[in-house]
């Protein structure tokens, strides 16, 4: 089955009418095996900061966007930086900014978070392969890569990981993706780490495709990650609003907050933050909101502004 933005709204209406987005994922496994993350209720305690948004100051071998004119930090020290600058105690590490995946470095990462009184609440893992690739060997690599990041999440104490589906020559295929995700979900359950799927790439990770895929897998350890801004890349604010609204009933532990997004044509679109927070409340979402500013303003000032906007709207 292939999903496009052209048929998104019609399919969304039909799906909602059929109850697709009201599935109780917690019933897929016995309650003893369902994830039980103790989410804080205080608004500021529900905030997290995305490491990817701070790519200009993070020193990592794979980070080619670091600004050499700025003081750089190792991602293991990002928690301390975030707490000092924003009085926020949760971070969302980005997989390509880990300097190493060796146990010694991951232990140092875990210890640095503990020392600073901060926590990793999700790892954003961009993967090189796709769950729906037409080639079975490539899909197997995707499953193995996802399991690797689940193990990293355990090592640093993160309760969840966001895996991705990169654009390939293969069209998004819900049957192949669901087949690949099932062993990932079972492994995640064995490690007590929740797997998230984000409306990120408009081709490979369309919001409706993500929503339908999560509902198809129907596993308490697989959930959606609603990104406030990514669907604005379509240039269609109506589509973007419905995209977030469709994903929040399937969300669990993490979502991304952006004040703006840029289309493929370079047009900056302003995100309706208030409407997206309304969608979160309507879905009874209890998880974290990760600040992920992508604009041109200085990142610390822009993130501080986004934090204050979010606190007023939560």
Higher-pLDDT residue of 274, 3: 274
> pLDDT exceeding 90 applies to what percent of the chain?
82
Residue 8's pLDDT is 46
Query: Per-residue pLDDT for 19 more than 50?
Result: no
Provide mean pLDDT across the span 16-44: 64
Cα separation of 305 and 120, whole Å? 22
> pLDDT exceeding 70 applies to what percent of the chain?
89
Q: Evaluate whether 188 touches 222 at the Cβ level (below 8 Å).
A: yes
Residue 116's pLDDT is 99
Q: 124: closest CA among 99, 150, 95, 153? A: 95
Query: Per-residue pLDDT for 7 more than 80?
Result: no
Residue 25's pLDDT is 46
Residue 150's pLDDT is 99
Burial class (CB in 10 A: 0-12, 13-18, 19+), 13: exposed
Q: 232: closest CA among 197, 200, 209? A: 200
Q: Could you give the C-alpha distances from 37 to 103, 181, 197, 229, 309, in angstroms and in order?
A: 25, 21, 18, 26, 26
**pLDDT tens sequence across 174-227:** 999 999 999 999 999 999 999 999 999 888 899 999 999 999 999 999 999 999
Query: Per-residue pLDDT for 30 more than 90?
Result: no
What is the pLDDT confidence band of residue 6, given thresholds at 50, 70 and 90? low
Residue 228's pLDDT is 97
Q: Could you give the C-alpha distances from 42 to 116, 228, 288, 305, in angstroms and in order?
A: 20, 21, 11, 19
CB half-sphere exposure, 29, CA atoms < 13 A: 18
Q: How many CB atoms lie within 10 A of CB 284?
A: 8
**pLDDT tens sequence across 240-278:** 999 999 999 999 999 999 999 988 888 999 999 999 999
pTM of the model: 0.91
**pLDDT tens sequence across 222-245:** 999 999 999 998 889 999 999 999
Mean pLDDT for all residues in the chain: 91
Just give the CATH number of 37-313.
Answer: 3.20.20.150
Q: Evaluate whether 82 touches 120 at the Cβ level (below 8 Å).
A: no
**pLDDT tens sequence across 61-96:** 999 999 999 999 999 999 999 999 999 999 999 999
Region of 218 on the Ramachandran plot (φ > 0 left; ψ -120 to 50 alpha; else beta): left
Cα separation of 144 and 231, whole Å? 28
Cα separation of 263 and 178, whole Å? 29
Q: How many CB atoms lie within 10 A of CB 218?
A: 16
């Amino acid at each position: 089955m292939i999903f496009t933005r052209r048929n998104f709204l019609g399919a969304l209406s039909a799906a909602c009418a059929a109850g697709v987005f009201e599935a109780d994922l917690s019933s897929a496994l016995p309650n003893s095996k369902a994830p039980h993350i103790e989410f804080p209720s205080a608004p500021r305690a529900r905030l997290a900061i995305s490491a990817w948004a701070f790519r200009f100051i993070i020193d990592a071998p794979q980070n080619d966007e670091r600004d050499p004119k700025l003081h750089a930090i190792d991602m293991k020290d990002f928690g301390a930086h975030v707490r000092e600058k924003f009085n926020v105690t949760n971070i969302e590490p980005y997989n390509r900014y880990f300097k190493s995946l060796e146990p010694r470095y991951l232990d140092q990462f875990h210890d640095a978070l503990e020392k600073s009184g901060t926590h990793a609440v999700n790892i954003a893992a961009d993967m090189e392969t796709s769950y729906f690739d037409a080639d079975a060997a490539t899909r197997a690599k995707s499953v193995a890569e996802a399991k690797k990041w689940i193990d990293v999440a355990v090592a640093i104490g993160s309760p969840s990981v966001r895996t991705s589906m990169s654009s390939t020559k293969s069209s998004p295929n819900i049957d192949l993706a669901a087949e690949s995700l099932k062993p990932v979900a079972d492994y995640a359950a064995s490690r007590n780490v929740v797997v998230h799927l984000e409306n990120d790439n408009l081709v490979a990770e369309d919001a409706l495709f993500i929503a339908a895929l999560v509902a198809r897998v129907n596993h308490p350890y697989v959930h959606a990650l609603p990104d406030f801004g990514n669907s604005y890349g379509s240039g269609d604010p109506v589509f973007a609003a419905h995209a977030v609204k469709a994903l929040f009933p399937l969300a669990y532990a993490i979502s991304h907050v952006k004040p703006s997004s840029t289309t493929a044509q370079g047009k900056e679109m302003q995100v309706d933050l208030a409407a997206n927070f309304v969608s979160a409340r309507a879905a009874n979402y209890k998880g974290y909101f990760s600040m992920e500013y992508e604009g041109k303003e200085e990142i610390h000032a822009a993130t501080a502004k986004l934090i204050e906007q979010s606190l007023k709207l939560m």
